[in-house]
A and B are shown apart, each in its own frame.
Chain A
C-alpha cells in the first residue's frame, strides 16, 4: 500500500488549506481578519531582534528610535494584507510589548508611548476609548460604557482631594502639581482609586446586559484606558506605591482595576512558567489601548488573541486561540505571539520549540491543534519567512507527520479489513469524540477546580430539529444535535439534545442545579462545533477511499454525507484533495 499511502499523504499536505474547511486566502485582504499577516509579521520583529535592534522605548535624543523603525515595517506589512491602519497599530503594539518593549518611557521631551509610536508608524488617526469596541464574544460592547460612567461620576460629585479653584494662577500643568507630592501622593492616587472601579463595574454591567459573560480582563483594560484619558498618564507616584522610576499612574490603574475586576494577581505565560504581574500587564496594555488609534472589532479580536499567550486566558477572558478549544483558524495568532515572547525574552530556538510544544498540551485535541498551528505557520511563511516560522514549523512538523501517517495508515487498514466508507467515517469520528471526552475531563477539571470524572458526547450529528433548511440538516455547525452525560463532583448530569433543549433551558430558567454540568461540557461542545478547523480526518477518509478505487467526487460527496460533525461546514478542500489523490495515483501507475 506504499503507493496509496504516498498519494494520500501528498494530497492532504500539498497545500496548507487541504487540512481545513476554512478559506485561508480570504484572510489575506483584511476582510474579516488578518491573522495570517500577523503570523508572518512576527518574523519581521524577530529578525530585527536578531540584528541587535534595541527593543526598548527610551528618551534617546533621536527623531526615530529602533522601535519606531520596526513598528513602521510591521504596520506597513500588516496593511499590505488588508489591515486597517489602527488595527495594524494596536496589533503591532501588542506584539512588540510581548517581545519585550516597554509600554512607555520618559517624562519630558521626548516622551514615548508604545501605542502612540505604533499609531504614528501606521499612519492611523487618533482614537478615543468611547469609540473603542471590545472583541467580539458573539455580541460586543465598547469603552463608551466606562467613559459614560466615569463622566457621570465626575458630574455627580467632586472627586479631587482638594478644591482646584484654590490653586494659584499658573499651576495648571505645572510640575508643582504633576511631578511632586500634591499630584503624585494625593491627586493622582485619589482619582485612580475612585475612577477605575467605576469604569470596571460599568463595563462588567454592560457585558451582562447584552448577554455576554463579563470579560474581566477587557473590563480592566478599558477602564484603565478610560481613566488614563483623563489622568496624567506619565506621572510617577509616591514610593508607597512602588519604586521610583518604575511606578506610574498606569501601574496604579492596573492594580486598582485588577482588584475591581476580580482578576488574579499573578498570571503566567503559556509553556514557560513565567509569571506576570496582572496589574502591570493591565496598566501597560490599557495605556496602549488609549493611544493606539481607533481599532475595529476585528483589530480588537486580533489584539486579544495576541494576548492569549496568558495561560489563564480561558478563565479571565484573554483570547481563545491558545486553547483548550480549536478555534476557527482566522482567530489564531497566539502561537507566533508566544514564540516572539520566548525569543524576545532570551530563549534559544530549541528552547522556544520546547515552549511551544508544551503550550499545545493545553488543547482538548492536541494532535489537531498541532496540525492547525503547522498549516497556519506554513501558509504564513509563504508571506514572509523568518525565525518565528522556523520555530513554529520545527515544533509542529514532526508531530504533524506522525499524526497524519498514523491516521492514513489506520484508515487504509480499516478499508483493508473490509469496512465500507460510511463505517470508516463513523469510526474515525467516534475516535475523535473519545479524544475530546478525555481532554475535557482532564482540562475542565483543572479550569473549574472540580472533579470532572467523565463526559460522554453521544448522538453527535446535524439536525437538532430547530431548522427546516436542508443545508442545516446536513452540517453540524448549522443545527447541531448532541446528547451529553457528565459526572462532576460525584453528580451525574444528562442532557438530551443539549444545544436545542438544555442550553436555552438552563440559561433562560437560571437553572443552577444544572449549571455545574453545563460548565463542564460546553467547551467540549464548542470544540466539536469548531472541529472543521482541522479537517484532516475527513480529508483522509475521502482520499483513502479514492486510493482504494472510488471516484474522487463520489468519495468527497459520500464523506460529506456520512460525516456527522467533522465537516461542520461545506469544504472545497475535501474535493480538491480527493481529486489530487486520483491524479497522483494515476501518474504513479
Chain B
C-alpha cells in the first residue's frame, strides 16, 4: 500500500469515516483546530514534517469558523467540524493523529513532537495507528 492510500485507509477505520466527504471534513477540522492552537513557528514546523501529499491540506487557508475561548482541542474540533458530541471530536482527532503516526518516519514524528503545543501533546503521545491500537497488546 502506498503511504497516502494507507493514511486514508487508517483514517477511515480509526475515525469511523467511510465516506471521502467525512474524512476530508475530519482532516480539515482537526488541522484547523491544531493550527488554531499553534503559533506561526509551530505551524511551519508541522507543515515541514508532513508528507508532501498532505502538506497542502495543512496549508489550506480556507477560512474556518473562528474558535474563541476554550483552548480545549476537543471543543475546537467539535466546533470546527460541527460534530454533535465531544466523543465524535475525540474520535476524529485520535484518528487523524493515529493515521499520521503510521505514515511518518521517526524523524518527522520527533519533529512534530517538538513543535506541538502543550494542549495537544497528550493526544500526540497517545496516537496509535490501526496496527498499534487495540490489538497490538494482545500479542505481547
Contact = CB atoms under 8 A, between A and B. Distances in A.
Given A243-B6, A277-B18, A351 B85 contact: yes
Nearest to A239: B1
Contact of B131 (A243, A271, A352, A358): A243
A2 B74 CA distance: 49
Nearest to B74: A346
Contact of A342 (B9, B13, B85): B85
A571 to B, nearest CB: 38
Contact of B85 (A243, A276, A346): A346
Contact of A346 (B1, B17, B91): B91
Nearest to B18: A277
A106 interface: yes
B73 to A, nearest CB: 14
Contacts, number: 83
Interface in A351-375: 351-352, 354-355, 358
A59 interface: yes
Contact of A245 (B18, B19, B131): B131
Interface string B72-102: 0000000000111111101100000000000
A482 B5 CA distance: 56
Given A59-B138, A265-B18, A277-B18, A242 B9 contact: yes
B84 A266 contact: no
A348 B1 contact: no
Given A105-B135, A275-B22, A347 B16 contact: no
B22 A347 contact: no
A345 B1 contact: no
Contacts of B88: 272-274, 345-346
A245 B9 CA distance: 13
Interface string B2-21: 00001001101100111100
B123 to A, nearest CB: 14
Contact of B84 (A106, A265, A351): A351
A151 interface: no
Interface of A: 56, 58-59, 102, 105-106, 239, 242-246, 265-266, 271-278, 280, 342, 345-348, 351-352, 354-355, 358
Interface of B: 1, 6, 9-10, 12-13, 16-19, 22, 82-88, 90-91, 130-131, 134-138
Given A105-B135, A245-B131, 11 more contacts: A59-B138, A102-B134, A243-B13, A266-B22, A271-B84, A273-B82, A276-B18, A342-B85, A346-B85, A346-B88, A348-B85
